[in-house]
């Protein structure tokens, strides 16, 4: 025996250890017996493909309306292009994020052709100017006003 533990305490510690082992054994075998219940599989939910509507996303992010205007003196008509963002440096180089015909937005650099034959001619911090490959810009897309 260890000199720090009196001889009369050893049987108590041995009994406590045996009871602990008996309890753990009973728990293990109880779980084994009652834990063999039939497993029921839960079917996984069907994956749905969700297509984002750029117009709805822009509206949800606070867009009020997109302003499309023709060259001065000509009537304003609805545009098939929606400006969602502009990235530009001090020299005027950059790209615009434009959604066309209700399709997901794509980035266009200055000089790139958009669906419908228009070309991105120029960028300002909040506008994109579109026009034919030759000539002046004929259409202005603006970002919605900040709130």
* Residue indicated by tokens 């650099």: 109
pTM given for the model: 0.46
pLDDT at 20: 95
3-class SS of residue 99: strand
d(CA 126, CA 8): 89
Q: Hey, where are the domains in the chain?
A: 79-146
Ranges of residues in the chain with a pLDDT under 50 are 65-77
> What architecture (CATH level 2) is domain 79-146?
Roll (2.30)
d(CA 137, CA 26): 85
Instruction: Name which of 137, 4, 136, 142 is nearest 64 in CA terms.
Output: 142
3-class SS of residue 18: helix
């Amino acid at each position: 025996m260890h000199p720090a533990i009196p001889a009369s305490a050893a049987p108590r510690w041995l009994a406590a250890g045996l009871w602990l082992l008996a309890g753990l054994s009973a728990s293990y075998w109880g779980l084994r017996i009652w834990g063999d219940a039939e497993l029921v599989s839960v079917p996984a939910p069907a994956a749905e493909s969700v297509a984002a509507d750029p117009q709805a996303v822009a509206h949800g992010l606070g867009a009020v309306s997109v302003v499309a205007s023709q060259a001065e003196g000509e009537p304003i008509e609805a545009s098939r292009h929606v400006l969602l963002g502009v990235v530009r440096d001090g020299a005027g180089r950059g790209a615009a994020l434009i959604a066309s015909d209700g399709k997901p937005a794509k980035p266009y650099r200055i000089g790139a052709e958009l669906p419908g034959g228009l070309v991105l001619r120029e960028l300002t911090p909040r506008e994109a100017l579109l026009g034919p490959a030759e000539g002046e810009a004929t259409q202005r897309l603006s970002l919605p006003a900040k709130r």
